[in-house]
Amino acid sequence: MDQYYDIISGSYNGLYKEEQLNKLSVVFEHIKINPSDLLLDVGCGTGFSLDKVSCFKVGVDPSIELLKQSKHNRICAKAESLPFPDNTFDIVISITAIQNFDDLNEGLKEIKRVGKSRFVLTALKKSEKIGLIDDLIKLHFDVRKVIEEEKDIIYII
């Protein structure tokens, strides 16, 4: 999957930006972000989600070609092995990336490990893994709200 995003990196924003920004508008209605917060976006792609927040932010993505397009702090890494200490981030988001994790359980455990208490995770509804994703999110996190958006399920944690 990583190579797929490297290959389409030049057209990524044209393909996904509008759809992702619509999801982000729903996400940011449900979480309060303070200027002093430290936010991590797991699967940040080109980083346009990070344009929408006014705090210190870091994005991680396994696609170096997508990351080259981001102007924010970014690290090439997979969700399953996040290079941060425990409890580093006030907020961790992952927008429509979970279904692409190589190991869903390990990726979600890593997200929980590096985050403190506020998380927003979304997953593609049409993914063949959506049932497992739903089960694992509910296993690892205390989900406050589930929102069904046009293409994603959004978990407010």
Grade residue 10 by pLDDT with cuts at 50, 70 and 90: low
Instruction: Compute CA distances 132 → 24, 76, 97, 102, whole Å.
Output: 23, 26, 14, 13
> For the CA atoms of 49, 17, 131, 81, what is the dihedral angle to 10 degrees?
-50
CATH number at residue 150: 3.40.50.150
Domain count along the chain? 1
Question: Can you tell me the mean pLDDT for 127-141?
Answer: 97
- pTM higher than 0.85, yes or no? yes
pLDDT score for 14: 58
Domain region containing 128? 2-156
Whether the predicted pLDDT of 37 surpasses 60: yes
Cα separation, 89 vs 110, whole angstroms: 12
Mean pLDDT value across residues 58-87 = 92
pLDDT tier, 138 (very low <50, low <70, confident <90, very high otherwise): very high
